[in-house]
Amino acid sequence: MRILSGIQPSGNVHIGNYFGMMRPAVELQEKGETFLFIADYHALTTNPDPGLLRQRTFDLATDFIACGLDPAKTVFFRQSDIRQVTELTWILSCITPVGLLERCHSFKDKISHGISPNHGLFSYPVLMAADILLYGSNLVPVGKDQKQHIEVARDIAIKFNNIYGEILTIPEPLIKEDVAVIPGTDGQKMSKSYGNTIEIFGNTKDIDKKIMGIVTDSKTLEEPKSPETCPVFAIYRLFANQNQIDAMREKYLAGGFGYGHAKKELVAIFNEYFKPFREKRNELSRDRAYIESVLETGAGKASETAKKTMKKVREAVGL
C-alpha cells in the first residue's frame, strides 16, 4: 500500500499544518510505504520570488525531519526533481473538463478574495492529480480543505482508465476527523492566508505572545465558560491527554478561571510538546548538506516509480 502526501513551501509551518498533515504523515510511515514531497511547483502559482521559494523549500524539509519524518522509512523529495509530473499533468489536462476545475472551492475562494488567477492556479488540481497518480498512491492523508482536490484526482483517474484501460490507481483520501480543522488565533480556520497562525519554529517569545492573544469572548474571570466554543480549549486538547482535557473542562465550567489562566497553561503544554522538535531543528539547520542528500536520495527512489508509470501512460495515450 502506498501512502502519499505533499505540502507547499509557502511559509513557516503552523500547528494547523502539523496536526492536519505533518503528524498524520509521520504516524503513517509506520503503516505502509510513504512518499512525501515538497510541492514547489504548486508554490509557483502564488510565489514569484526565486530566492524565497528555494529557502522555504529547504526550511520545510528541515521542519519535517525535525518533526519526526524518518528518511529511512519515508521517500522524501522535492516535487520539481521529478519532471515527469509535468508531463503527466499535460496528459491529464487533455481529459479534464474545464467545469470540474471551475467548481473547485479553493479556486473560487481565491478569486473571491480578489486574486486575479493565473492558469497555473486554475489547473492546480490537475498537477495535484498527477502528483498522486504518478506514484500509484492508494491513500492520501490531507486536511479537510484538500478533500475536493482528491475527489478531482479520483475523477480524472477513473476517466483516464475508462478511456485508456486500467492503468492508474484510484486514490482514497485519509482525513483525520478529530483534527480536521484547527482554529487560528481568531477562531477561524488557521491559515497563513488569514494571518491567524501559531508557528512551531521561530522566536518562541513571539509564538507565546500569539497564544496569549487568541481571541475569546468577554466573560469575566468569575463566570463559567464554555469549553466547546473556545479556541484556546480546542487547541489545548490537541496537546493534552484525556485527564488533562477533563481537568481543563472542569475549570472552564466551574468559573473563577480566566482565559488568561487557560492561555498560560496552553503556552506551557505547547512549549513542552515542541521542545524536542525545536532542539532537533537547531541541530539540523547546521547541516545543509544532510538535508540536500535526503532530498536527492528521495528523488532517486521516486523517479523509479515515476518512470514506470509514465512508460505505461505514454504507450496508452499513443505517444
CB-count exposure of residue 4 (10 Å: 0-12, 13-18, 19+): buried
- Which DSSP category does 21 fall into? I
Three-state secondary structure string covering 286-297: CCHHHHHHHHHH
Helix (H, G, I), strand (E, B) or coil at 276: helix
Q: How far are the Cα atoms of 198, 199, 212 from residue 206, in angstroms, in the given order?
A: 9, 9, 10
Of the candidate residues 3, 4, 8, 78, the single one contacting ligand ADP (CB under 6 A): 8
Give 235 or 310: the residue with its C-beta nearer to ligand ADP: 235
At closest approach, how far in Å is the CB of 23 from ligand TRP? 14
- Of residues 262 and 310, the one with the C-beta less far from ligand TRP: 310
Pick from 2, 20, 153, 259 the residue near ligand ADP by CB under 6 A.
20
- DSSP annotation of 166: S
Residue whose CB is less far from ligand TRP, 179 or 230: 179
Residue 16's binding partner out of ligand ADP, ligand TRP, none, with CB under 5 to 8 Å set by partner kind: ligand ADP
Please answer whether residues 206 and 196 qualify as being in contact, where contact means their C-beta atoms are separated by less than 8 angstroms: no
Q: Binding marks (x or -) toward ligand ADP, 170..209, rule CB under 6 A?
A: -----------xx------xxxxx----------------
Check binding of 79 to ligand ADP (CB under 6 A): no
Q: How far is the CB of 214 from ligand TRP (least distance, A)?
A: 24
Element (H, E) at 4: strand 2-7
Select from 37, 102, 91, 55 the least CA-distant residue to 294: 37
Question: Which residue's CB is nearer to ligand ADP, number 87 or number 151?
Answer: 151
Instruction: Point out which residues bind ligand TRP (CB under 6 A).
Output: 4-8, 39, 42, 128, 131-132, 140, 142, 146, 149
Q: How far, in whole angstroms, is CA 54 from its chain's centroid? A: 18
Distance CA 250, CA 67 (A): 32
Residues pairing with 75 in the sheet: 35
- According to CB under 6 A, which one of 3, 10, 29, 139 is a site residue for ligand ADP? 10
What are the backbone angles phi and psi of residue 123, rounded to the nearest 5°?
A: -95, 10
What is the grid cell recorded at 171? 486514490
- Please report how close the Cβ of residue 222 comes to ligand ADP at its closest, in angstroms: 32
The residue number with the shortest CB distance to ligand TRP is 6
Identity of residue 76: F
From ligand ADP, ligand TRP, none, interface partner of 310 (C-beta below 5 to 8 A by class): none
Query: 139-141 and 172-174 as β-strands: parallel, antiparallel, unpaired?
Result: parallel
Sites for ligand ADP among residues 43-72 (CB under 6 A): none
- Catalytic (active site) residue 110: yes
Q: Smaller CB distance to ligand TRP: residue 5 or 197?
A: 5
Of 146, 185, 305, 309, the one binding ligand ADP by CB under 6 A:
146
> Which residues are designated catalytic?
110, 189, 192
